[in-house]
Amino acid sequence: MLTYSVYDRSITSSARNWGEKNLILTARLNRWFNKNYIPEFDIRHSQGGSIFQRFLPPSWTLLLLSVSVGVAMIGLGIIWPLVPVYAVELGAGGFQIGLIIASFNLARTFFNPLAGRLSDRWGRKSFIAMGMLLYAVVSVFYVLAARVETLILVRLLHGLTSVLVAPIAMALVADIAPKNRMGLYLGTQNMAVMLGLGVGPVAGGVIRDYFGMHAAFYAMGGLALLTFVGVALFLPGDQERERHQK
């Protein structure tokens, strides 16, 4: 079993198996994200649990969460510039386009506090995974929308599902962040969100030009489904995470 020498770079070459190499990588990652990190944490908890959730330090959770949310935000960004164009294609006028755009944010405004309160009670992971899965379902509803009124309802539903992802992920980051690294953790998570929303619109325009409007919505759904699988398999459960943090 590895001891405090996991911080010694020379031990990498002497690691006997895949598990030891990952243990070393975990320790090094934690040196950046948590300067008060105790290496015994990884050693104590490196045994047991599924192969996907064996290494559970806060820095790994942050990394997995940032990648998952960032990819999901790329999917969301893909359709952002296309929704008004899609609305015009369905025959929407100026007021209706404004209502379609506003309905998404209005749904978020009224349901953000409720979703946050429920995640405090029932756990973060299940809400994030559910939100990713519902993103994928909503992408199909966009394609099926044949009237402006239907598109407004789809946007409302999309706004409702969105409160289960980014806000709850931010709350989870706050849960796992060491006190002296709160700013770094929240900044890293927010960077992933902004990066996804920055890359997504460009990708959406390319997809629409070369593959059609519906392909953009399917791309959003595919990315959401991918991140759902990632969260379900790799992100530690709330009870397991709390037990390892004690």
Show the 3-state SS of 200-219. HHHHHHHHHHHHCHHHHHHH
> Which tens digits make up the pLDDT trace of 193-232?
999 999 999 999 999 999 999 999 999 999 999 999 999 9
Instruction: Convert 204-224 to b/e letters by CB count within 10 Å (16 or more is b).
Output: beebbeeeebbbbbbbbbebb
Regarding whether 77 and 179 lie in a shared domain, the answer is: yes
Whether 213 and 86 have beta carbons less than 8 Å apart is answered as: yes
pLDDT of residue 239: 61
Residue 53 covered by a domain: no
* 208 CA to centre of own chain: 24
Residue 192 covered by a domain: yes
Regarding whether 101 and 27 lie in a shared domain, the answer is: no
Regarding whether 27 and 67 lie in a shared domain, the answer is: no
Regarding whether 176 and 69 lie in a shared domain, the answer is: yes
> Which tens digits make up the pLDDT trace of 9-20?
444 444 455 555
Regarding whether 131 and 24 lie in a shared domain, the answer is: no
Regarding whether 116 and 14 lie in a shared domain, the answer is: no
If one counts the domains in the chain, the total is 2
Tokens describing residue 72 = 């999901």
pLDDT of residue 60: 83
pLDDT of residue 234: 85
Residue 230 covered by a domain: yes
Regarding whether 120 and 188 lie in a shared domain, the answer is: yes
Regarding whether 188 and 88 lie in a shared domain, the answer is: yes
pLDDT of residue 10: 44
Nearest to 1 by CA among 40, 43, 49: 43
Whether 162 and 108 have beta carbons less than 8 Å apart is answered as: yes
Domain hosting 33: range is 4-45
Regarding whether 241 and 159 lie in a shared domain, the answer is: yes
Rg (CA), the chain: 21
Regarding whether 71 and 168 lie in a shared domain, the answer is: yes
pLDDT of residue 50: 44
Residue 132 covered by a domain: yes
Regarding whether 94 and 152 lie in a shared domain, the answer is: yes
pLDDT of residue 56: 52
Global pTM reads: 0.74
Q: Please identify every stretch of the chain with a pLDDT value under 70, giving residue numbers as ranges.
A: 1-57, 238-246
